[in-house]
């Protein structure tokens, strides 16, 4: 079962982060505009240069070709890219037709021209495209920002079911406090979610949970907080990674 682990991950805006997201777990991330939320997701997708290392299911990012890491760790950007005129050309030949149905589309949408899509339709189809490739972990950047309530509910339900069925760890950037509160509640087959926030260059609990402190191995903390006599960081905290290339479907 895939566990997503960050060790000493440092981006341009943030101090080094240690964080584990368990199989099927959901972690929400919020913070002011420009605080580095999207940059963190791009670093996790190995699209931007960063320091530190990331593992999925015990396999380090550095051990995999970039396209293979991005296939396993799927990023849904706030504004998805489209490379072909026809919607269906962005999907694998074999995919679950229920993905489209659950997001309010019929099979004919595959023959639509991308140019005719509304902003909300593009957003929902970008999620369907991502899930059609069956990533092991999800990085979601404002997955419902442009959607009306019925379509927001469709997207939320699909992501929750994907967590449950595939045990996928999910890191979800959301500016909607009601959404974070609502989906943070435990559901059948799903544990409660964590809610993290960026304050300055720190990643902190949005609302500190009882008994969760800096000594908790599941707590996201910076390397300077962890440092102590005799503690070794090794070379991971200093390694430069990041293999930028055009984001294309894998």
> What does the alpha-carbon distance between residue 133 and residue 8 come to, in Å, rounded to a whole number?
29
Those residues with Cβ within 8 angstroms of residue 234's Cβ, 6 or more apart along the chain or in another chain: none
Q: What CATH superfamily is the domain 4-241? A: P-loop containing nucleotide triphosphate hydrolases (3.40.50.300)
Domain ranges of the chain: 4-241
| DSSP code, position 143 | T
| 73/1: higher pLDDT | 73
Backbone angles phi, psi at 187, to 5 degrees: -135, 165
Q: What is the mean pLDDT of the chain?
A: 86
Angle between helices 149-166 and 119-132 (to 10 degrees): 10
Tens digit of each residue's pLDDT (9 = 90 or more) over 132-159: 999 999 999 999 998 999 999 999 999 9
Is 60 exceeded by the pLDDT of residue 43? yes
> Among residues 222, 217, 215, 197, which one has the least CA distance to residue 207?
197
- Would you place residue 248 in the very low, low, confident or very high pLDDT band (cuts 50, 70, 90)? very low
Residue 126's H or E segment, with its range, is helix 119-132
Confidence band of 234 (pLDDT split at 50, 70, 90): very low
Query: Which of 81-95, 127-141, 201-215 is predicted with the least confidence, judged by mean pLDDT?
Result: 201-215
Overall pTM > 0.75: yes
Residues 6+ apart with CB under 8 A from 132: 91, 92, 95, 96, 99
């Amino acid at each position: 079962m895939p566990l997503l682990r960050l060790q000493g991950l440092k981006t341009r805006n943030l101090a080094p982060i240690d964080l584990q997201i368990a199989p099927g777990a959901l972690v929400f991330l919020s913070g002011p505009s420009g605080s580095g939320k999207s940059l963190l997701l791009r670093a996790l997708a190995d699209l931007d240069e960063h320091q530190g290392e990331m593992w999925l299911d015990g396999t380090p990012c550095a051990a995999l070709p970039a396209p293979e890491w991005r296939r396993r760790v799927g990023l849904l950007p706030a504004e998805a890219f489209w490379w072909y005129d026809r919607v269906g050309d962005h999907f694998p030949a074999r995919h679950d037709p229920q993905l489209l149905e659950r997001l309010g589309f019929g099979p004919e949408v595959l023959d639509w021209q991308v140019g005719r899509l509304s902003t909300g339709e593009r957003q929902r189809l970008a999620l369907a495209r991502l899930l059609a490739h069956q990533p092991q972990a999800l990085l979601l950047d404002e997955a419902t920002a442009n959607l009306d309530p019925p379509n927001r509910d469709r997207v939320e339900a699909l992501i929750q079911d994907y967590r449950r069925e595939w045990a996928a760890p999910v890191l979800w950037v959301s500016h909607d406090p009601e959404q974070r509160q609502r989906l943070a509640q435990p559901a059948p087959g799903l544990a409660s979610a964590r809610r993290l926030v960026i304050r300055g260059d720190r990643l902190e609990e949005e609302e500190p949970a009882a008994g969760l402190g800096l000594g908790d191995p599941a707590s996201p903390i910076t390397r300077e907080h962890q440092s102590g006599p005799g503690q070794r960081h090794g070379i991971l905290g200093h390694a430069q990674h990041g293999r930028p290339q055009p984001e294309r479907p894998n």
